[in-house]
Amino acid sequence: MTIPTESIQPTTETLSNKTLANSLHRQMIAIIDFGSQYSELIARRIRETQVYSEVLSYRTTAEHLKKLSPAGIILSGGPNSVYDEYAPQCDPEIWHLGIPILGVCYGMQLMVKQLGGVVERAKRGEYGKASMFIDDPTDLLTNVEEGSTMWMSHGDSCTQLPEGFSVLAHTDNTTCAAISNPIKKLFGVQFHPEVVHSVGGIALIRNFVYHICECEPTWTTEAFVEESIREIKAKVGDKRVLLALSGGVDSSTLAFLLHRAIGEKLTCMFIDQGFMRKGEPERLMDIFDRQFHIPVEYVNARRRFLAQMEGVTDPEIKRRRIGHEFIKVFEEESQRLGPFDYLAQGTLYPDVIESADTNVDPKTGERVAVKIKSHHNVGGLPKNLRFKLVEPLRKLFKDEVRKVARSIGLPEEIVSRHPFPGPGLAIRIIGEVTAERLNILRDADFIVRDEISKQGMYHDFWQAFAVLLPIRSVGVMGDKRTYAHPVVLRFITSEDGMTADWAKVPYDLLEAISNRIVNEVKGVNRVVYDITSKPPGTIEWE
């Protein structure tokens, strides 16, 4: 099986080869989303088994699912109670498709209710870790150990099962922790097997994917790359493609993939707005243009962007101005370098799931760009500057993009680069952005990255960076009074950036960084450490 790169949602379909699309979706697990915070995580866990998965709305009809012909269906959790007046429902015809179905939490309760069982408010809710005791160790619970800890989050319980169902497992508080109707291949779990807290959760998922749905592990990096190159060539033909390159892993992977597919028909544009880290623009040009011979049009717009920051202290105004200026520069340069038929964007699958901000040309059915997802993540292209989109990464999660990047030869310094905000250092300088403050922060940030790399700890953090505050404090250097800026160090750990914890950094590392910053960076005399998690804080300060 090869790897699908089109969306199965009609509103965002980008490929026209229906026969190919249908065959690609043959071994797919469809995830019906009822508003769970873990729906994306379910999709990622399925893909970790090397089987393709997609998240669909709970409004998806049984007829549409039948056309997609997935190997299995998972009903996600959700915040509602199934007996609420406006609780989301699935098409009841899905129970008659003959496709294996696994209901998770709300999904299980909905299965029970729609098939004639009873779901009621539990006398006692169950939240957090709970030990699961297995009544039937076959099918779904094969190789799941007795007493395994599972993550519960429910205030309702199934008090009467539909005809043909039996209990597979229970907890001290829940008599129906896992259920099944093996004849119809319908299964349900009251817990969340997709979260890391559920011991044996991955084994359960693998049982559903491999043994119950009979899938094969064919969602591989190699297959994705081969299929993407074929589709890019077929889609683009002899037309020209423009890519706004940022230096991040998404746009860089896209550039390498497109260059392999269409060669000189790709034009990469790098707009240097002056807010990148020390040495990054030069390093980017060296890697692409000189090392890998992928030509990049370098646009030096530093003065223009810095002028937009004059007198601005509000972070939202900063973002808007940077976004608007980026659009102006992009429009000018694309007209100078063009014409182009296609715009390449590094859209990822979470963007597809979460964003309804798409536009479909009514004549061609092609998605067209009304918003550029560059490294700025703000603003939109002018409506008269319309391109057809090339988005070969739009079915991938971030970790999958990194796997693709490594497979096609991107340098590890790009693959493993810490996430960097679109507006760059402009939102790591609190208050007005000036040339002097940019230089201070660049130097401090370089020391942070240099020290964690020297101590082999770069990959221990999701992000590690410095923030410059617009205040001054008194200090003493060489028996003289100083009045200089404080720098805040922000080191965090995270799996996906949605939540984050401050990193428990060794004191000797903090000491080394602090000593270097106050001794080497002119204008700084104090270093502090941010110990705020997300939530309640955010990763960035602005």
Q: Which residues form the catalytic set?
A: 105, 192, 194
* C-alpha–C-alpha distance, residues 144 and 268, integer Å: 50
- DSSP one-letter code for 161: P
Chain centroid to Cα 505, Å, comes to 26
Q: Which two tokens stand for residue 169?
A: 């497992």
Q: Which residue has the tokens 């182009």?
A: 340
Is the preceding peptide bond at 339 cis, omega within 30 degrees of 0? Answer: yes
At 166 the three-state DSSP class reads: strand
Is the preceding peptide bond at 411 cis, omega within 30 degrees of 0? Answer: no
Neighbours of 70 (CB within 10 A): 25
- Residue 463 backbone phi and psi in degrees, to 5: -150, 150
Burial of 387 (0-12, 13-18, 19+ CB in 10 A): buried
* C-alpha–C-alpha distance, residues 365 and 11, integer Å: 9
Q: Are strands 296-300 and 186-189 parallel, antiparallel or unpaired?
A: unpaired
* C-alpha–C-alpha distance, residues 90 and 97, integer Å: 13
Instruction: Assess contact for 38 and 257: CB atoms under 8 A.
Output: no
Instruction: Assess contact for 49 and 206: CB atoms under 8 A.
Output: yes
Instruction: Assess contact for 44 and 399: CB atoms under 8 A.
Output: yes
Instruction: Assess contact for 382 and 331: CB atoms under 8 A.
Output: yes
Q: Which two tokens stand for residue 276?
A: 């990148």
* C-alpha–C-alpha distance, residues 205 and 212, integer Å: 10
Could you write out the three-class secondary structure of 80-138? CCCCCCCCCCCCHHHHHCCCCEEEECHHHHHHHHHCCCEEEEEEEEEEEEEECEECCCC
Q: Looking at the chain, how many residues does it have? A: 542
Strand locations in 161-279, DSSP E? 166-170, 178-181, 186-189, 241-244, 266-272
In sequence order, which residues have a C-beta less than 8 Å from that of residue 461 and are 6 or more positions away? Answer: 418, 452, 491, 492, 493, 503
Burial of 173 (0-12, 13-18, 19+ CB in 10 A): middle
* C-alpha–C-alpha distance, residues 372 and 251, integer Å: 12
- DSSP one-letter code for 452: H
